Chains A and B, each alone.
Chain A
Amino acid sequence: MREAAMLTPNNLSELREALGQATPPSKILAGGTDLVLAIHQGRCKPDLLIDLSGVEELKIIKLTEGRIHIGAMATFTQLMDNQLIKGSLPCLREAASLIGSNQIRSAGTIGGNIGNASPAGDTIPVLLAFDAVVRVLDSSGQAVEQSIDQVISGAGRTSLRRDQVITEIIIPLLGEHYRSTFVKIGSRTAVTIAKLNMALAVKYDETAKSISDVRVGLGAIGTKAFRERQVEEILNGRRVDQCLADTLAEELSAAVQRAIPGRYSLPYKREAVKGLAQSAFANLFPKLYGGVSFTT
């Protein structure tokens, strides 16, 4: 077995140069929580590893012109600890906090979560719901912005060329009337891969008690996470009450049925998604709910 070589760029211009040397089997090493395992198990045999850990520019989280820019190498722990995220994107923080263990969160990165393209990746539904874009740099120095949907093409697959790398995730902030939440079902409370995950964001009209601009990002169903536009349409303009929560539950159940007909996991997921819907709704509109959960 030929040992892989490693390039360790220290800034974006060195990174560009490194990308120029990439061949089809080459791999970008971000946090490593999936790639190192794949290499160790022999599932992945790269000729070249481009380690991003030395590129400080990729770790920055900042707010510019109403958009939050998150460096691709920001770890999940960083997302949890960051005041800007805490204040403006609590649902991304929630998603980050529900990923893996503390150890995984200290190493794993948001860029890696996208690049790894796991159908169950926890930040993806959030990024979809917020219409986040991904900034992609290539070896020529050209940077383009692409949607999450463009970048992730399937389970474990992206549209990125071998000389491209995700440098930034840019999230346009929604206005102050928006509420958002991230919910997940795994097989344990913590350290679990999602069986279902969802981000739900809505614009809430306090006077009319109604919602608009509904955004539903659904994950762990099928080969890649997606926006559930049909459900969004149905919810748009509706008055918030228990009936609406039930509608969301039923519509999501139908969406699951549409997404994975005949799959072994369908009977469970189409039922459990109703619970996910109720939890999401309870998070968005806690006054409607007693806040009952396992911990009470």
Chain B
Amino acid sequence: MSKEFRYVGGTFPCDQALRKVTGDLLYGCDMKPAEMLYAKLLLSPIPHGIVKRIDTAGAEKVPGVVKIFSHFNAPHKMFNSCRIIPGQKFCIEDEPLFAARVKFAGERVAAVVADSLAAAREAVSLLDVEYEELPALLTTEEALNNKAVKIQPGGNLADQYEIEVGDSAPAADCLVVESVTQTQRTHHAAIEPHVCLAHYDGSGKLTVWTPTQGVFGVRSVLAEFFNLSYSKIRVIKIPIGGSFGGKQEYLFEPVTSFMAMETRRPVKLMLDREECIIQTRVRPAVRVKIKTAVSRSGELQEFIADTTLDAGAFTGSAVDYSRTLATKAPKLYRIPHYKHTGRAVYTNTVKSGGARGWGAPEIITAVEVHMDQVAKRLQMDPLEFRLHNLVYPYDRDPVLNLSLGDARVRECLEKGAEAFHWKERFHRHAQEGGRYRRGVGLACGAHKNGMYGGFVDCTSMTLRMNEDGSLNLNASLHDVGCGTATAMKIIVAEVLDLEPDLITVTEADTELTGYDPGCYGSRVIYNVGACAKETAEKLKDKIMESAAFILQKPKEYLCMAEGHVFTMEGTDERRVLSYKEIAERAIRENYTDLGVAHTYYSPSNPGSYSVQFAEATVDTMTGLTRVTDFLAVGDVGRALNRGMIEGQFQGAVQMGIGYALCEEVKINDRGKPVNNGFKKYHLVNAPDMPDVKVLLIEHEGDDGPFGAKSVGEISAVPTAGAVINAVNHALGTSLSDMPLTPEKVLAAIKQTEDQG
């Protein structure tokens, strides 16, 4: 099975790494076109109320202030921040540029545009806003129960649905287990705060520089919001200092563009950390109830889930996100009867939005915590219990009616258990006592590879060989730091057998690069990568044709290796042409351009899988928990850039441990986010991170380039479940109210002790 690759599977720095280590790469915060103005937002301090009046007199006097905006002088038109294509399902347009009625503490109320950031900041602090406060609904329960207060015109229920597949007939002697898991709001915490730069020039053209995950979606939203021609809007993806879904939605492009259009000067909006936490998007809090019926021998008979997702104050991506929760468990387990009821509920809290894994970490954490509870009731090793129920390669996803492809989750589990010495540790740690107690936990996770089956998933690119034999790949990439640009180079380099360094790859620019819906849905490696491979193959064909013409031999008599085209051995005299010679002569002698264009349509959407193993050590006296060992196993199809893939898993584990143990955007009973900076919103830092081992399972059974499947999102799906299961194993508890803070852990220990 093992193939000889020249570049695929090696380790390469990400595309702009050299400029990143020298500090030379310009991010949004570093860009400063001539005449640029700075914008600063005023955010609502209250969760619900009418903006009655804004006294701008003090602010206007600040030297350098150019203009002050609010709903009093801005359009009241609404947009949806995650709408990628016109008329997209579930994308209700209910977000304003500036609120006339604020619906959460942190919503945009006004903005000052000034010559300097200092002036803009000072002016904002002098804006005096009069609010008429309205009752705020801060939890989904309150929002559903209170019929008098409507956050959105249609009420507080944003969406509800029911999915059912299979037959309901669990045997009479089945074990029935019920669980409730509460997941929490979390901050994406990209180290780069949000930023956007826009300019509306004299010709009526709007240019927007933004660290986005999808330029064409931004353009579509802007065009329809401002009634501009798509051709008069240029959206350029600039370097992103991390996103994790936090920069996936078009949060500030509309408001920054509006200010640029009004002032006719370049306007830059840069957020600070507090603003990023309280007014961008959060991973939604979801309450998950699961009820399963399992045979005494450990086979799942029935799986019934009910989810309530806190959408925050408007729709954004909440409906799609909520519905996606129903699609994950059936990708992971064979379930004879599956039912999922779900709803998304508006509350007067910070807007929920896209986050790495798009629902999978939320639902899978609940599923995996539940599965451990079932295994415990069955007195079965959680590993064995899962092996009774996990899907097999080429099973069918009963909900989406798609093949799961070469789903290797069982192999991930088996090989991982061996490497982690699962059985031995699972039994050993259960016996240990003392102040510091250790436990191990595992969790399986399922995700996807692109949008095939329900949404546009095509991409267009061009590839051209230059006169010196180097290459330019022109593609709409949105590298968020995971190394997708380098992955494309590796793919093209492998096909054309030349150094990846000889290839330059573009990132997305609506004016210059081909259509691509964006970097989400775990679609980039699987689909954009496949496009790069086919495009390179197309160019290879063209190069061979050109060489054939120069050499006056049919191309079937030629072969390609190490940047050269050769006549086959055994024919008459051996002749060799370098790429440079071919490219030069093609253009000089044959008047031919060695360039190709290609559009790729995704043909499939297999599952991506990861199984993760955690060891947790709990200080039973303080409740402090540390993850002291970790193994992440990935069903990646084929590793393209090994070092970056390992890094993806290691970073995902950092995020997942935080999700399990400490991260939460907390909102107090007055509706205000309380941990509004990194002092109070703690990420796991280096001393608390274990050295995460990574094991990759490679089979290349699906349609991705060289068999590669997605990594970036699936890597973050099972982590929290593994950690929580390890804590519960250490303590004999069934904690499922996330995150497992020291306070909750201590309370649970006390409760277990009290129960004897």
**B-binding residues in A (CB < 8 A):** 1, 42, 185, 187-193, 267-268, 271-272, 274-276, 278, 292-294, 296
In the complex, are the beta carbons of A268 and B628 less than 8 A apart? no
In the complex, are the beta carbons of A192 and B746 less than 8 A apart? no
Give complex CA distance A193, B685 in Å. Answer: 14
7 A-B pairs within 8 Å (CB atoms) are namely A42-B121, A274-B621, A276-B622, A292-B436, A293-B436, A294-B617, A296-B436
In the complex, are the beta carbons of B746 and A272 less than 8 A apart? yes
**Residue B621 contacts which of A1, A275, A294 (CB distance < 8 angstroms)?**
A275
Give complex CA distance A98, B741 in Å. Answer: 21
Among residues 496 to 527 in chain B, which have CB atoms less than 8 Å away from a CB atom of chain A?
none
Q: Which of B617, B741, B742 has the most chain A CB within a 10 Å cutoff?
A: B742
- With a CB–CB cut-off of 8 A, which chain A residues contact B53? none
- With a CB–CB cut-off of 8 A, which chain A residues contact B619? 275, 294
Contact with A along B116-133 (1 / 0, CB 8 A): 000001100100000000
In the complex, are the beta carbons of A278 and B435 less than 8 A apart? yes
A-B contact count (CB 8 A): 58
**Residue A272 contacts which of B122, B617, B662, B742 (CB distance < 8 angstroms)?**
B742
In the complex, are the beta carbons of A275 and B435 less than 8 A apart? yes
Q: Which of A42, A187, A267, A292 has the most chain B CB within a 10 Å cutoff?
A: A187
- With a CB–CB cut-off of 8 A, which chain B residues contact A267? 743, 747
In the complex, are the beta carbons of A271 and B746 less than 8 A apart? yes
- With a CB–CB cut-off of 8 A, which chain A residues contact B125? 42
Contact with A along B666-693 (1 / 0, CB 8 A): 0000000000000100101101100000
Chain B: minimal CB distance from A149 (Å): 27
Give complex CA distance A185, B617 in Å. Answer: 16
In the complex, are the beta carbons of A188 and B436 less than 8 A apart? no
- Taking CB as reference atom, which chain A residue is nearest B744? A268
Task: Indicate whether B626 reaches chain A with its CB closer than 8 angstroms.
Answer: yes
In the complex, are the beta carbons of B747 and A190 less than 8 A apart? no
In the complex, are the beta carbons of A1 and B122 less than 8 A apart? yes
- Taking CB as reference atom, which chain B residue is nearest A193? B679
3 interchain residue pairs of minimum CB distance: A275-B621, A275-B622, A190-B687
Give complex CA distance A113, B743 in Å. Answer: 28
In the complex, are the beta carbons of B434 and A292 less than 8 A apart? yes
- With a CB–CB cut-off of 8 A, which chain B residues contact A272? 621-623, 742, 746
Chain B: minimal CB distance from A155 (Å): 16
In the complex, are the beta carbons of A191 and B436 less than 8 A apart? no
Chain A: minimal CB distance from B636 (Å): 31
- Taking CB as reference atom, which chain B residue is nearest A272? B622
In the complex, are the beta carbons of A268 and B687 less than 8 A apart? no
- With a CB–CB cut-off of 8 A, which chain A residues contact B679? 193
Task: Indicate whether B624 reaches chain A with its CB closer than 8 angstroms.
Answer: yes
Chain A: minimal CB distance from B61 (Å): 12
Give complex CA distance A274, B687 in Å. Answer: 24
Chain B: minimal CB distance from A182 (Å): 16
Using A1-B122, A190-B688, A267-B743 as known contacts, list a sample of 18 further A-B pairs with CB atoms less than 8 Å apart, ordered by residue number in A.
A187-B742, A188-B662, A188-B684, A188-B688, A189-B626, A267-B747, A268-B742, A268-B743, A271-B623, A272-B622, A272-B742, A274-B621, A275-B435, A275-B619, A276-B622, A292-B434, A294-B619, A294-B626
Q: Which of A190, A191, A267 has the most chain B CB within a 10 Å cutoff?
A: A191
In the complex, are the beta carbons of A189 and B688 less than 8 A apart? yes
- Taking CB as reference atom, which chain B residue is nearest A271? B746
Give complex CA distance A260, B558 in Å. Answer: 84
Range, interface on chain B: 20 to 34
Supposing A272-B621, A275-B435 touch, asked if A188 and B685 sit within 8 A by C-beta, the answer is: yes
Chain A: minimal CB distance from B273 (Å): 11
Task: Indicate whether B388 reaches chain A with its CB closer than 8 angstroms.
Answer: no
Contact with A along B424-468 (1 / 0, CB 8 A): 000000000011100000000000000000000000000000000
In the complex, are the beta carbons of B435 and A268 less than 8 A apart? no
Give complex CA distance A284, B662 in Å. Answer: 31
In the complex, are the beta carbons of A188 and B682 less than 8 A apart? yes
Give complex CA distance A192, B680 in Å. Answer: 9
Chain A: minimal CB distance from B620 (Å): 8
- With a CB–CB cut-off of 8 A, which chain A residues contact B743? 267-268
Task: Indicate whether B553 reaches chain A with its CB closer than 8 angstroms.
Answer: no
Give complex CA distance A292, B750 in Å. Answer: 22
- With a CB–CB cut-off of 8 A, which chain B residues contact A293? 436
Give complex CA distance A292, B438 in Å. Answer: 12
Give complex CA distance A190, B617 in Å. Answer: 17
- Taking CB as reference atom, which chain B residue is nearest A185? B622
Supposing A275-B622, A294-B628 touch, asked if A187 and B750 sit within 8 A by C-beta, the answer is: no
- With a CB–CB cut-off of 8 A, which chain B residues contact A185? 622, 624
Give complex CA distance A185, B275 in Å. Answer: 29
Give complex CA distance A271, B688 in Å. Answer: 23
- With a CB–CB cut-off of 8 A, which chain A residues contact B741? 187
Give complex CA distance A185, B621 in Å. Answer: 11
Give complex CA distance A166, B732 in Å. Answer: 52
Give complex CA distance A185, B745 in Å. Answer: 15
- With a CB–CB cut-off of 8 A, which chain B residues contact A292? 434-436
Chain A: minimal CB distance from B117 (Å): 12
- Taking CB as reference atom, which chain B residue is nearest A276? B622
Contact with A along B645-665 (1 / 0, CB 8 A): 000000000000000001000
Chain A: minimal CB distance from B189 (Å): 15
- With a CB–CB cut-off of 8 A, which chain A residues contact B746? 268, 271-272
Among residues 568 to 624 in chain B, which have CB atoms less than 8 Å away from a CB atom of chain A?
617, 619, 621-624
- With a CB–CB cut-off of 8 A, which chain B residues contact A190? 685, 687-688
Give complex CA distance A160, B125 in Å. Answer: 30
Give complex CA distance A278, B125 in Å. Answer: 48
- Taking CB as reference atom, which chain B residue is nearest A196? B622
Give complex CA distance A15, B688 in Å. Answer: 43
Supposing A294-B436, A294-B617 touch, asked if A268 and B623 sit within 8 A by C-beta, the answer is: yes
Chain A: minimal CB distance from B115 (Å): 15
Give complex CA distance A276, B746 in Å. Answer: 14
Give complex CA distance A267, B632 in Å. Answer: 36
Supposing A187-B662, A192-B682, A294-B626 touch, asked if A278 and B747 sit within 8 A by C-beta, the answer is: no
In the complex, are the beta carbons of A271 and B626 less than 8 A apart? no
Give complex CA distance A187, B740 in Å. Answer: 12
Contact with A along B231-245 (1 / 0, CB 8 A): 000000000000000
- With a CB–CB cut-off of 8 A, which chain A residues contact B623? 268, 271-272
Chain B: minimal CB distance from A246 (Å): 12
- With a CB–CB cut-off of 8 A, which chain A residues contact B685? 188, 190-191
Give complex CA distance A278, B620 in Å. Answer: 12
- With a CB–CB cut-off of 8 A, which chain A residues contact B435? 275, 278, 292
Chain A: minimal CB distance from B747 (Å): 7
- Taking CB as reference atom, which chain B residue is nearest A268? B743
Give complex CA distance A42, B688 in Å. Answer: 33
- With a CB–CB cut-off of 8 A, which chain B residues contact A278? 435, 621
Give complex CA distance A190, B689 in Å. Answer: 11
- With a CB–CB cut-off of 8 A, which chain A residues contact B121? 42
Chain A: minimal CB distance from B750 (Å): 7
- Taking CB as reference atom, which chain B residue is nearest A293? B436
Chain B: minimal CB distance from A244 (Å): 17
Chain B: minimal CB distance from A108 (Å): 14
Give complex CA distance A267, B743 in Å. Answer: 8
Chain A: minimal CB distance from B519 (Å): 31
- Taking CB as reference atom, which chain A residue is nearest B750? A271
Give complex CA distance A191, B746 in Å. Answer: 22
Give complex CA distance A292, B432 in Å. Answer: 13
- With a CB–CB cut-off of 8 A, which chain B residues contact A42? 121, 125
- With a CB–CB cut-off of 8 A, which chain A residues contact B624? 185, 187
- With a CB–CB cut-off of 8 A, which chain B residues contact A193? 679
- Taking CB as reference atom, which chain A residue is nearest B678? A191
Among residues 729 to 750 in chain B, which have CB atoms less than 8 Å away from a CB atom of chain A?
741-743, 746-747, 750
Give complex CA distance A141, B628 in Å. Answer: 55
Chain A: minimal CB distance from B677 (Å): 9
Chain B: minimal CB distance from A289 (Å): 10
Chain B: minimal CB distance from A248 (Å): 13
Give complex CA distance A267, B623 in Å. Answer: 12
Give complex CA distance A267, B746 in Å. Answer: 9
Give complex CA distance A271, B621 in Å. Answer: 7
- With a CB–CB cut-off of 8 A, which chain A residues contact B684? 188
